[in-house]
Chains A and B, each alone.
Chain A
């Protein structure tokens, strides 16, 4: 059932994927997301999910997501995420989650120093609930998507099943061919209830067979419904 679900999409000055995300939540999931400007300081009580969309937040001339992490709304986002509210950061949103220390690690410039827009094969392990690994294809579009963290952090992520999504194609060091991400990490999950999910790929760009594909639905359903398969049937597909 979707009537109790009320996602908020946070909009920074140069967010540019908020409309795409809102469109998918409306058309595919029949939800009514609200867009919240970054200078707000409060999210209303009926908000059940928070999404930080893709984009360049403040032009990101300093470091991707660095300024956005200090926007007024982020204090509220942090408070709610640490309380257990499902929080998703996609692409630039993932960068902001890391800069805001809601997730470990950092997203660095791709090892080839170029922007890359392509569809990559990945393995999805689940976020709110882990499950049998699934092979999926998702689009990526970023220049600063090389996940990096120290070995101790990577080990801890592995122990805690914190690695939610990995790129399938690795180089000889085990890093992602497509952008150099350490241990091929494309997405990680954290928070008290495995409620904070950061992803470099864009699940909203693959949420229907009429788009590039529908593999992104698995991730969005996990985030929205906590991997409740029965509820998936309620979606208008």
Chain B
């Protein structure tokens, strides 16, 4: 009754429907619906409900994670733009900035893998060029269910095909992939897309609708019915048949996006744009409300002028469509004509759909009716913040866990054979154009971190993209810390200094206490490690509700760490390892098995990894950089998943050489397996020429342990202890196994 009285004060047209029903459709709880009524002092219209539902979705509002994300270090002398804008930006000197971000497109990619993954790439590219930057590299992190699951080959080929079709056509190299398989992803595969671009730092653009009376332009492709309420769908768990959600997946067109990029960059160059934002999640809604909120302005929008693929679309459809390749621009009235000319040249739509107002209210008009009248700030700043329940106690960090664990090298080699997550990824990365742009110095699969020349600059960026769901499941905080430490070491193997981090938190439902506990601790661990290395987290994305029928995915924190190399003429590659090169192990020796891939599934519960020390990592990273820049080190592999053994196999595969090692210098006879398989200590395996060893040892003196293990040689892989052969195998057998199984697996399914 009361609602009706309030409604009579509004000029909006459709306030008589059953709104509880619509609230549910918009993904809002009844409490949230009541909150809206209180905030507005009236009932919302159906379109308004759809808008608020999208803006308050987990995907857009971070309502479960925001409270914790505030702990991340986001500033620093080189940070030009931190979280909150379309992407983060770091000053790299010479007047240039790099702009980068990683973002999830998990839910759509499970429903429709090809289009879901393709539009994930499209979205992240728009985030970069919306800032005014020209994208120069893409990367991705992919997670699939256990390989025996019937749908996995279909999903993998679809996702890889979608990324390839979009990235290759757009013309930006896809330089790195991180791929793994686990049964927890059976009902929720993950697609995280990363992009990086470069811009003159004074030319960075922001998503702000400033300047009263400025015009609002809609540019790019037409609006269709695809992806309506996609942001809400992405904030929900899957219950049954994901197919029924197909219409919520957008369809991408890289050809249009390429034209949009060139048109936007030309418009930016001619200084015709005041503010700009791409229409990503929640489409026109999100771009209108966020741009108005950032500038504390209002917008008057007439939907009658929005270019449509289907004229029968309602205001609700138009506001919530997630059709791809569209942007919203705020421009001075005098520049409208020139902008229309530019977009026409590229064959794109460019429509004047409204103007900026000074009263802070977003007013939307459609076919003779006002359908929305909302304060952007009211809606965004009053989005719910949930303090979801979690267990604050951090699991104790235990020391030595080696008793009761028995694994020999032959068994471990055998287990790697059946583990697709340990394979050479050439089958996947060869489907991505990683050479275009002439900037790829060290590309995919030939080193731990890739090295890409920054266009129009002498500098290069090294990228490391890591994640370790199983370790984060054991101990989310230490797992998160180690990921950042590992990534810092990896970029250091390319002579690069860590300058910034972007992250994607892929988790299950935050309403589930163990999931929320992992999420909270993972963020804390990330904050600790980033702080201890003084590397800011400048952008990121949270993807929750990755669970099906109550089964959450492993806590999958994807970390992409960007390093800056001033002199990219020095770098490491597996193929640079040569006959008779010395194999050298830098770092601490493990005394623990926790987290080791070879035994992880057999560990007793309650085990915890040993904490790594941030200062020690800084020291190792500095030595690695010096060693690479002084041309002492030719090849390096940071010991991670699969332990020292997998690092050895990678170097043998890359160099085509066998290896002859004696591990007596690093461990007693009965701890050989521990030395080879443990992932519990920060270590880096190096290959270098004999005569340079002394110089590196001198750098390490009193700081970091360094041990010569043997040399690269011949056709055999032999592990000895005091001269006695413990394990040997023809190198070709190991290499073939590492290199071909992924392709064979997919061919046979």
Residues of A within 8 A of B (CB): 13-14, 16-17, 19-20, 23-24, 54-56, 58-59, 61, 114-118, 139, 141, 143, 202, 204-205, 211-212
Question: Is A14 in contact with B436, judged by CB distance below 8 angstroms?
Answer: no
Task: Report the Cα distance A139→B173, complex, angstroms.
Answer: 13
Task: Report the Cα distance A204→B436, complex, angstroms.
Answer: 10
29 contacts between A and B (CB under 8 A): A13-B259, A13-B347, A14-B254, A14-B258, A16-B169, A16-B170, A16-B258, A17-B171, A23-B438, A54-B436, A55-B171, A59-B169, A59-B254, A61-B255, A115-B164, A115-B165, A115-B168, A115-B431, A115-B433, A117-B168, A117-B430, A117-B431, A117-B432, A117-B435, A141-B433, A141-B435, A141-B436, A204-B438, A205-B436
Residues of B within 8 A of A (CB): 161, 164-165, 168-171, 253-256, 258-259, 346-347, 429-438, 440
Task: Report the Cα distance A163→B256, complex, angstroms.
Answer: 36
Question: Is A13 in contact with B258, judged by CB distance below 8 angstroms?
Answer: yes
Question: Is A56 in contact with B438, judged by CB distance below 8 angstroms?
Answer: no
Question: Is B169 in contact with A14, judged by CB distance below 8 angstroms?
Answer: yes
Question: Is B255 in contact with A58, judged by CB distance below 8 angstroms?
Answer: yes
Question: Is B169 in contact with A13, judged by CB distance below 8 angstroms?
Answer: no
Contact partners of B168 in chain A: CB under 8 A = 115, 117, 141, 143
Task: Report the Cα distance A61→B252, complex, angstroms.
Answer: 13
Question: Is B432 in contact with A115, judged by CB distance below 8 angstroms?
Answer: yes
Contact partners of B253 in chain A: CB under 8 A = 59
Residue of A nearest to B453 (CB): A210
Contact partners of A139 in chain B: CB under 8 A = 435
Contact partners of A205 in chain B: CB under 8 A = 435-436, 438
Extra pairs beyond A14-B171, A24-B438, A114-B161 (9, CB < 8 Å): A13-B258, A16-B169, A16-B258, A20-B436, A59-B169, A61-B255, A114-B431, A118-B430, A139-B435
Contact partners of A19 in chain B: CB under 8 A = 437
User: Are A20 and B438 also in contact (CB < 8 A) when A14-B259, A58-B255, A59-B255 are?
Assistant: yes
CB distance from A178 to the nearest CB of B (A): 10
Task: Report the Cα distance A55→B436, complex, angstroms.
Answer: 10
Residue of A nearest to B172 (CB): A16
CB distance from B358 to the nearest CB of A (A): 40
Classify the secondary structure of A's interface with B: loop
CB distance from B436 to the nearest CB of A (A): 6
Contact partners of B438 in chain A: CB under 8 A = 20, 23-24, 204-205, 211
Q: Which 4 A-B pairs have the closest CB atoms?
A: A16-B171, A59-B255, A141-B433, A115-B164
User: Are A212 and B171 also in contact (CB < 8 A) when A13-B347, A118-B430 are?
Assistant: no
Contact partners of B169 in chain A: CB under 8 A = 14, 16, 56, 59
Task: Report the Cα distance A130→B431, complex, angstroms.
Answer: 33
Question: Is A116 in contact with B171, judged by CB distance below 8 angstroms?
Answer: no
Task: Report the Cα distance A117→B435, complex, angstroms.
Answer: 8
Task: Report the Cα distance A215→B431, complex, angstroms.
Answer: 23
Contact partners of B434 in chain A: CB under 8 A = 117
Task: Report the Cα distance A115→B436, complex, angstroms.
Answer: 14
Task: Report the Cα distance A211→B438, complex, angstroms.
Answer: 7
Contact partners of B256 in chain A: CB under 8 A = 59
Task: Report the Cα distance A34→B164, complex, angstroms.
Answer: 30
Residue of B nearest to A57 (CB): B255
Q: Counting chain A CB atoms within 10 Å of each CB, which of B433, B438, B440 scores highest?
A: B438
Partner of A202 from B170, B259, B346, B435 at Cβ < 8 Å: B435
Contact partners of A14 in chain B: CB under 8 A = 169, 171, 254-255, 258-259
Task: Report the Cα distance A24→B347, complex, angstroms.
Answer: 29
Task: Report the Cα distance A196→B733, complex, angstroms.
Answer: 46
Residue of A nearest to B426 (CB): A118
Contact partners of B165 in chain A: CB under 8 A = 115
User: Are A17 and B436 also in contact (CB < 8 A) when A59-B169, A117-B430, A118-B430 are?
Assistant: yes
Question: Is A16 in contact with B259, judged by CB distance below 8 angstroms?
Answer: no
Task: Report the Cα distance A167→B438, complex, angstroms.
Answer: 22
Task: Report the Cα distance A59→B254, complex, angstroms.
Answer: 7
Contact partners of A115 in chain B: CB under 8 A = 164-165, 168, 431-433
Task: Report the Cα distance A214→B161, complex, angstroms.
Answer: 30
Task: Report the Cα distance A56→B256, complex, angstroms.
Answer: 12
Residue of A nearest to B258 (CB): A14
Contact partners of B429 in chain A: CB under 8 A = 117
Residue of A nearest to B160 (CB): A114
Task: Report the Cα distance A75→B473, complex, angstroms.
Answer: 63
Question: Is B433 in contact with A117, judged by CB distance below 8 angstroms?
Answer: yes
Residue of A nearest to B747 (CB): A112
Task: Report the Cα distance A23→B437, complex, angstroms.
Answer: 10
Question: Is A116 in contact with B437, judged by CB distance below 8 angstroms?
Answer: no
Task: Report the Cα distance A143→B171, complex, angstroms.
Answer: 14
Q: Counting chain A CB atoms within 10 Å of each CB, which of B170, B255, B259 scores highest?
A: B255
Task: Report the Cα distance A54→B169, complex, angstroms.
Answer: 10
CB distance from A52 to the nearest CB of B (A): 15
Residue of B nearest to A27 (CB): B438
Question: Is A13 in contact with B171, judged by CB distance below 8 angstroms?
Answer: no
Task: Report the Cα distance A204→B437, complex, angstroms.
Answer: 10
Task: Report the Cα distance A54→B436, complex, angstroms.
Answer: 10
Q: Counting chain B CB atoms within 10 Å of each CB, which of A23, A114, A202 scores highest?
A: A114
CB distance from B668 to the nearest CB of A (A): 45
Task: Report the Cα distance A169→B164, complex, angstroms.
Answer: 24
Question: Is B432 in contact with A56, judged by CB distance below 8 angstroms?
Answer: no
Contact partners of B170 in chain A: CB under 8 A = 16
CB distance from A136 to the nearest CB of B (A): 16
Task: Report the Cα distance A116→B430, complex, angstroms.
Answer: 5
Contact partners of A56 in chain B: CB under 8 A = 169, 254-255
